[in-house]
Amino acid sequence: ESATAFGCLVSDMWLGEFDYVSPEAFHSVFEKRYPAFSRRTQHDAQEFLICVLDDLHEAFKEVRAQLCQGRYRSGAGASRGSGSGTSIVTQLFEGQLSYGITCLKCKTITDRPESFTVLSLPIPSTRVCSLQDCLECFFQPDTLTWNNQIHCYWCGTNQDATVQATITKAPQIIIFHLKRFAWQDKHRRKLSTTVCYPFSNLDLSPYSSTFSCNNAEYSLCAVVNHAGDLDYGHYTAFCKHSVTKHWYSFDDAQVTQIPDTAVQADTAYLLFY
């Protein structure tokens, strides 16, 4: 039901018959399935995005499974991937990381794969940094000690270890979440750091395994901005038209074309490449 409402919303947007399109109908259906996203409280765009993608994935996965079952009953043969949990959402947005865990005692390395649709990147500065700085911070090795030790199978005991993430499958569309809301001195606050991000030629090969480096360069296609603080705020979006290549600002009932220079904003919260 929410997938149908989302489809209608996208169709209305691309038909171009209105100056702007309200997502009222989609949100009304969506909040019935997910009451946590009611209209009475503030919500996090990243959490909402993940929930929407998960919901669409489940809807499209079910449709694909039903179609495959229909072909099987008709004698045409069932798809081998019908139970794999794939959908158009996973095909576009899902990537895979591999966490290489090295025991510091016996030096044994084990790999732990993990799928992702959004990469949450730390911001390593309070004033100015680049997206590459955020990526390097995310992918740098981390040492696990004390209560974070791993249980080493070969040593048979808990041991200190290092862990480092590597991209083993780069998605067609990669989404970065800039972790602007952070804890500092037992208080949660928003980081207003200026994060400079490239519009094109974002190279992920330094963070990828050798066999996933192909087509690892990305171009920016959308930005979600958050203006405000922890307890209040306002979301807007910048989106690049796939045909004209012009950038547009979406701010409630205002949709306006903007110059490329306006896309670099201090309020950037989600980046779509």
Half-sphere exposure of 105 (CA within 13 A, CB side): 14
pLDDT of residue 80: 28
Q: What CA–CA distances, in Å, run from 3 to 24, 26, 230, 232?
A: 14, 9, 30, 29
Using alpha carbons only, what angle is made at residue 126 by residues 125 and 131, rounded to the nearest 5 degrees?
A: 45
How far is residue 235 CA from its own chain's centroid? 17
pTM: 0.89
Distance in angstroms (rounded) separating the CA atoms of residues 111 and 97: 10
Residues in the chain with pLDDT values less than 50: 71-83
Sequence-distant (6+) residues with CB within 8 A of 178 are 121, 123, 134, 195, 268, 269, 270, 271
